[in-house]
Amino acid sequence: MSGAKRVRTAPAAGSRWLLDHTRAISATLDQLVRRPFGTLLTALVIGITLALPAGLYAVLGGLDAASSGLKGSLRVSLFLKDTVDEAAGRQLQATIARKPGIGEAKYISRDAALAEFKAHSGFGEALDMLSDNPLPATIVATPDAALPKAQAEALLDALTRLPEVDSARLDREWLERLYAILAVIERLILLIAGALALAVLVVVANTIRLDIASRREEILVLKLIGASDAFIRRPFLYTGLWYGLSGALLACLMVFGAGLALAGPAQTLSGLYGIGTGAGTLGADTVFAVFGAGAALGWLAALWTVSRHLGAIEPR
């Protein structure tokens, strides 16, 4: 009999729990709709606060995508020894081009190097006075764009140790500086996001505190008739949740709007540098992160505020 009673009462308890939450959701949404100006103002403050780190993260994603497009600029110039003739140099270039991970290998003969130097250096007449060509033959090797950066650097380092190579120049210092700058920006965005998360907590907590103060008499009546703290706390928690979600929605709309406004100039800038644009808009994972952060911050701020102030309201 006791087992049969448990089977009959469990669905009733579950239905009551679901009914309580449904009523709390309906009541809190109705209250927010009945005061649209205050709700929109609070959501707008939260949205602006969340939009700043989200927008910075979108810009960082665009810069990271652009830097990936610049990976082809990571290359090595192999200056061959004078004992390596043109036939041997071209054979070495063909051997390097067939190596796994090499995207392109270009052979520049001594005569071609001298002609290019004359055309761009402005010292053409002075170079004509030289009896011998001082420039070595060169092989310019570029790794495959799909190759990870660490493997590309290791491959290019190995090419500099070939016996036919007299000296080499690895063009990667500026790219290393770019990656270092991106790492600093990423850390800065995390710090800004942490500070603004505290701002969201303060905004929601202050709004919930004012809501509790305005409903003090209602809370006293509920406690007099025996309502539990969980029952009284539930509407305020949902209110904080709605504030966080509405602020997250506005933040995403702001970032998308800013991305559309900047799309034209960004496309022009990327075209001038010959790189693909990284869109600079929020991806699906970032949108979910913004909504998750807004919901979590709103709920935590409401929980903290209600826990602090609810105990101070007691019927005498």
pLDDT tens-place string over residues 241-254: 999 999 999 999 99
Cβ pair 231, 222 in contact under 8 A: yes
Q: Are 58 and 282 in contact (CB under 8 A)?
A: yes
Q: What is the pLDDT of residue 295?
A: 92
pLDDT at position 240 is 92
* Closest C-alpha among 307, 311, 53 to residue 200: 53
Backbone φ and ψ for 144, nearest 5 degrees, come out as -65, 135
pLDDT band, very low/low/confident/very high, at 23 (cuts 50, 70, 90): confident
H or E element in which residue 171 lies = strand 165-171
Q: Taking residues 121-125, what's their average pLDDT? A: 58
Q: Per mean pLDDT, which of 71-80, 110-119, 210-219, 257-266 is the most reliable?
A: 210-219
71 or 33, which is more confident: 33
Helix axis angle, 229-272 relative to 284-309, nearest 10°?
150
Kindly report the pTM of this predicted structure.
0.62
Residue 296 has pLDDT above 90, yes or no: yes
Query: Which amino acid appears at position 160 of this protein?
Result: T
Quote the pLDDT of residue 9: 47
Phi, psi dihedral angles at 125 (to 5 degrees): -65, -40
Segment 289-294 shows an average pLDDT of 91
Phi and psi (nearest 5°) for 121?
-90, -25
- How confident is the model over 267-287, as pLDDT tens digits? 776 665 555 555 456 778 888
Interatomic CA distance for residues 157 and 162, integer angstroms: 10
Q: How confident is the model at residue 5 (pLDDT cuts 50, 70, 90)?
A: very low
Q: List, for residues 132-173, the tens digit of each pLDDT value.
A: 777 788 888 887 766 676 777 787 788 888 888 888 776 666
What is the C-alpha to C-alpha distance for residues 167 and 77, in angstroms, rounded to an integer? Answer: 9
> Which of 140, 76, 131 minimizes the C-alpha distance to 107?
140
CB 211 within 8 A of CB 280: no
How far is 93 from 283, CA to CA, in rounded Å? 42
Percent of the chain with pLDDT over 70: 77
Strand duo 165-171 + 102-108: pairing: unpaired
